Amino acid sequence: MEEKLRSINLHKVPNHIAVIMDGNGRWAKGKGMQRVFGHRNALTAIRETADTASELGVKYLTMYAFSTENWNRPKFEVDALMSLLITTLKKELPEFMRKDVRVNAIGNTKSLPKPAQKVLNNVIEKTKDNQKITLTFALSYGAREEIVNAIKNISKKVVNNEMEIEKINEKIINNHLYTFNLPDVDLMIRTSGEHRISNFLLWQMAYAELYFTDVLWPDFRKEHLFNAILDYQNRERRFGKTSEQIETNE
């Protein structure tokens, strides 16, 4: 593992990493347990990933914790996830403060149970001045819903003569998304062997590098993040340009 760490170019780590934490249910099923057991055992992976990202100099880490579609899961599982969210945020707050972590949330957070909203908002407020890394949890999040809401809000401003259609550009759209205070994603990691992005940050991942691993999320550790970053650093990010243009900075 130390060799992998030495291989990482600390001057070229992704600025923003997004993670689809997949495989909790399958991990639990493989151990003869209920899905909730997998969610509980995923916390170590979240903590280690956040700590490692921060140590490497990653400034933004966004984790897909609960999608808009997840509300359709069995009530028992949803209730357990909301309870786990509350207890985890309360427990981790002292560590967030000690490690200089700013907590953020994106999604329709008003749809969360009131106790979860209260704890989440408290942690966000308490950590708002922390600066080492911004840890964002996507909660009740769906990218299509996010984009639809942005279009509706922009349209209202046009109708009310607060904005001209000709002035609408990428920056305007960005400013109306949940992620208005976050940069675009550089690297997206999905665990559990699935090869899709599942309605996650569709706009923000326009030029992201995608990394898929067969590791189930509860087993994801520091070495797996190293592997993802090393893979990222071995790719050529062209943003529509040619290799020759990148080499000459044109």
Which residue in the list 70, 108, 174, 227 is annotated as catalytic?
Answer: 70
* Burial (0-12, 13-18, 19+ Cβ within 10 Å), 164: exposed
Task: Give the pair of three-digit tokens for residue 94.
Answer: 């002292």
Helix (H) or strand (E) holding 175: helix 170-175
| 51 among known catalytic residues | no
Task: Give the pair of three-digit tokens for residue 13.
Answer: 């780590």
Nearest to 43 by CA among 112, 5, 79, 95: 95
DSSP letter assigned to residue 7 = H
| 153 among known catalytic residues | no
Nearest to 237 by CA among 186, 189, 193, 201: 186
Q: Known catalytic residues?
A: 22, 70
